[in-house]
Structure 1
Amino acid sequence: MDQLDNWNEWNPILMPLTPSGLLPRNGPRREVAGAVADMMAPKRALSPRFLEKVEIESQLWDAIRNDMAKARPSAVAHGARRLGEVDQDIVQAVSRSAFATFLRRSVKGVVLSDQVSLSYLYYEERDWVPLHVDGLGRFEYSCLVCVDRKRVAGRPSATYFLLGRTEVAAFDLSAGEAVWFHGRYLPHGRTPLGPGEMVALLNVGFSAARTSSTETSGLVDVAPTRPMVGEMPGSSSKW
């Protein structure tokens, strides 16, 4: 196994680098985080891509919103956030959807799994996610779809991606927007939510079934990234 593939060894290094949920602008912790991101960059099959409008048909979208509301009371704590279980009928419907097909076709040279994995992510005031990478398996590739969002005055919380020592992209999604990325080789996290903030996301995950020896026909390009520019969300420092 390539040393970069062992996420169980990388996360104990990455996660302590953002003890309050904020990525430091400079200093030893930022240098370490940036070095890891640079090492992983050549294996990254997909840079984070912003999707301005998630093409999920309205009946399925309504079912997701209703199911997410029902699952919220039984969601379990996972770090400084909660995870909810998705109804299996919705899992199957999303797996067969045109949206899932679009995502599968957007990664050149990789055949993604036919079956998607779904989870609901609930964030409230003071919730955050440390810098980390995702493991080999169901969420090697992830599309975070915003289902609900409540903002308040001040800098908003955002999901951020450390592309290298000097490059960071961050996305504060509104309902119906999404970001699609290769989480196995892309350090990422979420800055803390402020008072009164709320975010509800659907995580659509894929594993890599195999590497394609030839490019898949009919590949499509997803929309370009729309990074937040300027100050780090939730932080007094800049990128």
Structure 2
Amino acid sequence: MLQHLITQDDRLRMVPIDRDELTIVVGQLRQELDVTTDPSRTRFLTREIGIAQMTLGNHDEARTLLRQALDMATAAGNTRSVVASGINLGDAHRYAGDTQAADTLYRSALATARSLHPELLDFAHQHFGKHLMELGDHAGALAHLQEALRLRIAKGNAELVESTQAALDRVALLLGRANPNSSAPHGWSAGWTAWFQSRTTARTPARWAENFPGLRDAVRGLTAHQRVHPRLLRHLRDQSFSTEPIAAMAQEAENALATAGYLHNGKWNAAVGDAAARFADHLDLAAVVARSTGLEVEQPHAAVYIAYRDSGQFLDFHVDEFGFGEANLILCLKHDRPSGTAVPSSTVFITADGYLECDLAAGDCVVFDGALTPHGRTPVSAGESVTLISFGFHARDRALRTPVNLPPPPRP
């Protein structure tokens, strides 16, 4: 409710965008709180007002209200709200300088999230990581923020990934490890994505030929820095993956999408489970990537199921955040297409030589540098459906994780 009124300062603490407007909204929320008789609404309003007061710097009132919200959630047995309110109260104590109370609250929220609400673990790790960063425990902060990033990449929420990446950037700065030559600052990927989407689209392949000349020089400058070799991508049809783990992941994806799937950037996403982990470990997926590209990578640190079910559903051209890794492997788990489908949906890339479409069948995969290769998916036809899994890999050579002298996004 308050997100549009709140931003973050250079310490990554919440501050008002417009102090007067936020104060007015607090007054309106108080009026509603005075008359509501719904316990769940009372708890919600108390928490929202507490967050607003924390943002405004009214620390005593923020702690009082957020403690009330936490106590109400505990009394109601709403453990999900207990985790969220506990994190908020931890923030209020941290902002007020009470680090000991903040530490206790963050650790409690983290433990409860682990046991009861794993979907909230990324928030718990994120806020605890910020707390440790402010305490000067940069190694601890880095560990928690990296875990938050892994979980948020799996969720596929770009805004959350961006927030965690900003916190990691600050830790790097505090550690003195920020690379002064890096030309991939916060927002770099979003800038390039916006530029590509303003000039072309995966929705209408018929326009590609006429649009490409205006993209050529920019794409060449971008893809020249790719960490995956050959410097395009590898479309792998010769891996001979066993059909059993492919089918197991396809079934796991169907179940996950049906119970916890969410729309993101026009496609369906869902968190991976045990079937995906077994596939990556037993097959040694890192070795597959190394053999096919020459890039030595660690085992995948992130993965997400992706599905396209609706006629016309597509994924527009974009580049990934750098946190997803130096190599991305997209594996097709299932591709159902009605007989007579004239133009099936395909994974598509913009390379230095033009557009490249990869029509993936079950068991086919493609390996590429997602942060430096514009990619997307063309629209699915009526009756067509596609299920994929995307794995992210970090290069073993840590120097490759922070590319230097990258071209800035062109001006719109």
Q: Does 1:179 align with 2:361?
A: no
Unaligned runs of 5+ in 2: 1-180, 401-412
Compute the displacement of 1:33 (Å): 3.1
**Cα deviation 1:62-119 (Å, max 9, x = unaligned):** 43122112112121101111101101463254145234322134333x4322344211
Partner of 2:297 in structure 1?
A: 112
**2: CA distance, partners of 1:104 / 1:212:** 17
- Taking the TM superposition and a 5 Å limit, the aligned residue runs for 1:113-132 are 113-124=298-309, 125-132=311-318
1:19–1:191: structure 2 CA closer, same or farther, 3 Å change rule? same
Number of aligned pairs?
A: 210
Instruction: Check the 8 A contact 1:95/1:115 in 2, yes or no.
Output: no
Q: For 1:17, which of 176, 199, 206 is the aligned residue?
A: 199
TM-score, L = length of structure 2: 0.46
Aligned equivalent of 2:332: 146
3-state SS of paired residue (1:126): coil
Match of 1:72 in 2: 257
Determine if the alignment matches structure 1 residue 102 to structure 2 residue 282: no
Of structures 1 and 2, the larger Rg is shown by: 2
- Whether the aligned pair in 2 keeps the contact of 1:116 and 1:205 (CA below 8 Å) is yes
The aligned residue for residue 157 of structure 1 is 345
Q: Which amino acid in 2 is paired with 1:94? A: A
Separation of aligned partners in 2, 1:19 and 1:104: 31
TM-score (norm 1): 0.76
- Greater percentage in helix: 2
Contact 2:348 2:355 survives alignment (8 Å): yes
Poorly superposed stretches of 4+, deviation over 4 Å: none
1:161 is displaced (CA, Å) by: 1.2
Written as runs of structure 1 = structure 2, the 5 A alignment for 1:185-196 is 185-196=372-383
Distance 1:158 1:58, change over 3 A: closer
Is the 2:326–2:369 contact (alpha carbons within 8 Å) kept by the matching residues of 1? yes
Higher strand proportion: 1
CA contact under 8 A between 2:332 and 2:363: conserved in structure 1? Answer: yes
Task: Summarize deviations over 1:175-231 as a string: whole Å, max 9, x none.
Answer: 111111111111111111121111111112212232689xxxxxxxxxxxxxxxxxx
Q: Specify every segment of 5 or more residues in structure 1 that has no aligned partner in the other structure, as ranges.
A: 214-239
Instruction: State how far apart, in whole Å, the 2-side matches of 1:196 and 1:163 are.
Output: 30
The 3 A distance-change label for structure 1 pair 2 and 89 is same
What's the CA shift for 1:137?
A: 1.8
CA distance in 2, matches of 1:56, 1:205: 18
Aligned to 1:231: none
Separation in 2, partners of 1:212, 1:56: 31
Q: Provide the secondary structure at the position in 2 that maps to 1:40.
A: helix
